[in-house]
Amino acid sequence: MRISMSLPNKLLTEFDDVLRDRGYQSRSKGIRDALKDYILRYQWMNDMEGERVGVLAVIYDHHYVGVMEAMTDIQHDYMKQINASLHIHMNEKYCLEVIIVKGDVKKIRELTEKLMRLKGVEHVKLTSAGTSNLDQLHEDEEE
């Protein structure tokens, strides 16, 4: 099946650079692989259950009107799941917000997806581990 899409020049140039560095022969193959990776990450996030501890990394354009206020409002709605946050100025345009989370994965997933949907947010990545998994690792070490 064929599709067409519009991309900003900078994004396409960066994508082409990655494809060239990785030895891809065509954009189509690179796009297929990128889509598969996106789907796998989504499925991984949806398959998580129970209590989790993790780190949310959010890169956003702090010049985008309303994005900082919206991020603050969302974080206030999830105060029970947020243990700490760190704000870093990456350059003149972008900031990185690192948010430490702990709690039920459903709430952490909601928080992650709300941040992803904000206009002005460029990238969101959740890295997490189940708290029961950590207990199991410790028990395995003791044996």
CB 57 within 8 A of CB 115: no
Q: Does one domain contain both 19 and 69?
A: no
Q: Does one domain contain both 18 and 55?
A: no
Q: Does one domain contain both 123 and 64?
A: yes
Residue 127: band (very low, low, confident or very high) from pLDDT cuts 50, 70, 90? confident
Q: Look at residue 1 in the predicted model and tell me its pLDDT.
A: 84
Q: Look at residue 32 in the predicted model and tell me its pLDDT.
A: 87
Kindly state the average pLDDT of the residues 108-118. Answer: 95
Q: List Cβ neighbours of 93 (8 Å cut-off, separation of 6 or more).
A: 61, 62, 63
Q: Look at residue 36 in the predicted model and tell me its pLDDT.
A: 82
Q: Does 101 map to a domain?
A: yes
- Alpha-carbon dihedral 116, 120, 92, 56, rounded to 10 degrees: -10
Q: Look at residue 88 in the predicted model and tell me its pLDDT.
A: 96
123 is in an annotated binding site: no
CATH code of the domain covering residue 73: 3.30.70.1150
CATH code of the domain covering residue 16: 1.10.1220
Of 105 and 134, more confident: 105
Q: Does 92 map to a domain?
A: yes
76 is in an annotated binding site: yes
Please classify residue 101 by burial: count the beta carbons closer than 10 Å to its beta carbon, then call 0-12 exposed, 13-18 middle and 19+ buried: buried
Number of domains present in the structure of the chain: 2
Residue 47 in this model has a pLDDT that exceeds 70: no
Q: Does one domain contain both 31 and 68?
A: no
Kindly state the average pLDDT of the residues 82-101. Answer: 97
95 is in an annotated binding site: yes
Q: Does one domain contain both 56 and 119?
A: yes
The per-residue DSSP string of 31-56 comes to HHHHHHHHHHHHHHHHH--SEEEEEE
Kindly tell me the sign of the dihedral angle through the C-alpha atoms of 14, 68, 118, 108. positive
Q: What's the domain range around 100?
A: 49-130
For the whole model, what pTM was predicted? 0.70
Q: Look at residue 56 in the predicted model and tell me its pLDDT.
A: 96
Distance of alpha carbon 112 from alpha carbon 54, whole angstroms: 11
Q: Does 137 map to a domain?
A: no
Residue 78: band (very low, low, confident or very high) from pLDDT cuts 50, 70, 90? very high
